[in-house]
Structure 1
Amino acid sequence: MSETARVCVVGGGPAGLSLARALLRHGVPFDVYERHSDVGGLWDRTNPGSPVYDSAHFISSKTQSHYHDFPMPDAYPDYPSGKQIHSYMRDFADAYGLREHIRFGVAVERTELQPDGSWQVTLSSGETKRYGSLVCANGTNWHPSMPDYPGEFTGEMRHAVTYKSMDEFKGKRVLIIGAGNSGCDIACDAAKAADKAFISLRRGYHFVPKHLFGVPADVVANGGPHLPMWLAQRVLGAILRVLNGDLTRLGLQKPDHRLFETHPILNTQLLHYLGHGDIAAKRDVARFEGKTVHFKDGSSEEIDLIICATGYTWKVPYVDPALFSWKGGKPDLYMNLFSRTQPTLYGLGFMETNGGAYKLFDEMADLIVRTIMARAKGDAALDKLIATDRPDLSGGIKFVGSDRHATYVEIDAYRKQMTRIRKRFGWPALEDGCFDALRVGDKRAAA
């Protein structure tokens, strides 16, 4: 490939590292730009804006979440901590010599699509460079989304991205708004440390234990039996009802959707604290009045500190938004990877799914690199597919109609579609050992 086909990768986090290794494997020239001083993205707590807090752990288990050919250490627990994940990211970068391809402390400030499809990239260093392809791997949890309620709250109210330690709750009456996995984690911290703790939920949810039958829940799901989705919903739903009982007894609302129709909440620790009275469940907020929070069920509480675990706005600030199509505030990419209108624009990490991300990132990165290589040879066969194909990636699940689920995919359905694409273009799947030749060192092995 010529120098004019060089690839610009934005971000040295989990997605960017996966893509860098894939580009190395296929011999495609590239540069990675990382605005921070180290790899790891959000998992590096010294990275300004990182949402990681003391009690943060993976919600998928180590055996289902690692990169291809690079398992997490045996000494890691089933669900590694944030510190362990960052250490794993650093070891991964060192093992494959990725750092020499990353410019640290340099941000991509602006990109301009040229008439020939190439990209003029302006860097924070003041340099301007030209690239044949642009891959956005900057992550999605950097731009907090705050809720808007009637009235004025005169206590302290901030987004969960600012939360780091349960010490922040001592001596305070605390309300957590939002029941995603981070919201539930933080609510558990509040239950332990606050004078009084509450969690506000818009709807009822299904709470999945991190372990089923003594092993991680995603290991059970991956091992089978692989039931039709409608049957899996019924079977696992019945198991959860046996394990958790009627959640309305804890003040939670009855779910208004079936299992898997929202992003799974892997946290039954919250149920423990609700059952012990260390935290109380509330409905959605109706309005504020000073430090009084009124809820839609008619109740009210005096609150000192509100933590809003209300998600993030997905942004690609260095690319003209008009170059993307958008759905529910998220880039609407073919297979969550390919721009439907700009053949040299790609994204990695702009998706949510119900399975471990990093193995999937490797498969996705391989598709991106193979597509870049095919296009460099003048093969436009994939262009027509990208422009016209609208595969059903729901796996038969009717996801709730929230913005969060606008680009959500069911992991098995997604993998089946990847397999179809590979077969269509004669691209082999990733095999065990396919990255071994790239190894330059492994600190863990040396230790």
Structure 2
Amino acid sequence: MSLTLSHEQLLDDCQRHWSASAAKLYRLGKTSVEKEADGIYVTDHAGKRFIDCACSYGVFIVGHRNPMVREQVQTQLNQMAWVPEGRVHPLQGALSERLRNLVPGDWGDVQFMVSGAEAIEQSMRYVLKVQQHRRGIVVMNDSYHGKTLAAMSILGQKQHHRSYGTEASEVTYVPYGDFAALQRAVGEGVRAVYVEPILGGAHLQVPPVGYMANIRALCDATETLLVADEIQTGFGRCGKWFAVQYDDIVPDIMILSKGLTGGYTSFACAMYSQRLATQYPLSEIEPDQRTNGGHPVACASALAAIDYIEQHNLVEQSRINGGLLRHGLQRLAQRYPQIVEGVPGVGLMTGLRLRGSVYEALMSMELGKRGVHAGHSMNEKAEHPVLRFYPPLNITPEALRHVLTMTEEALEAIARRPKLAVKAFSLVVRNMYHIPNKLLRNKGKP
């Protein structure tokens, strides 16, 4: 049976089975569909190769099809792919211990999950149980903690609440980076504060110096639990192993996912401090908890990815190469202020904050023409979306210089467009999810 599909069939399948939003963007931008990937590159169905600075928003942290990770995954597949119900596997214990030693602080229980949103929900159940004498959870505006139903109740992007009615009365939202507002919201104490040490997503933002340290002190003073969501920031993405290290603090609960396995399988975990694990063991809080997370293949890939990061000094490379990338993007932002508002980020977690969703769509299209994938927010309502540059940590300086050259060419192409044409395209971008596919249909090769 042939699996060769036309470009339009691929987009139809994308819309039906994966993401209608992504399919719309592909059609709008006349974008090709990825077919293969290797190292820092992805190749589309027509054979064109791209440098991948999207990496599924940071998942492929050691590059696509990393040979060291692939070898360990294959070895484990040859032995056992799945553990029968009620059984454990030695790799689960090995990975738990590795994470306890890797993450700063003293850690107790480690609970494995399939996805970051599932880990967030597990932590929410724990928080509600051990802090049941309290009321309230405080989260940050524009934060992202997943889109499963319970996780959405602490999602800081309120347009999703309007769509699904998930806003909870006990959840308080405060501006990210505004510690005074956080103090007022916490008051004499709430159940927990959920925070991304670096705000991710389309609203990428590095907080003021000392922000996390102040939150830690506030939570200590009010006996509030501090939950750090390091799903996007962990494993070297931000120039340190974990973003909490910038303020040298230890949260009560830490959530990890994305780069954990180098992209070989969906995997996540919730880690609980030794203090919490001693006082409220997870086995007592959720004695019947069962999850498909932590299967041998996931654990093998995670251990191999961590080994690769350590052996190739990728955290330090992220810091150095991240400086090269951000400096180059900042230089371009100064040259094109009518398009770029700023360059937020740290390490290889950065991007261009653009002056409207129309410019994000145009930049995605122009970079695509030049063989560069960037992380589009898929948020056409964002006033100043960040087009993210999250390349694999093992990207070379030479490849980054090429990305910067292509970015400059893309900005110049957009700057040459007539203002009226940009304005007209803006109307299309802001309403693209309501435009019939036939009007966005690609009539030729992408």
- Relative to the length of structure 1, the TM-score reads 0.31
Structure (1/2) with the larger helix percentage: 2
- Relative to the length of structure 2, the TM-score reads 0.31
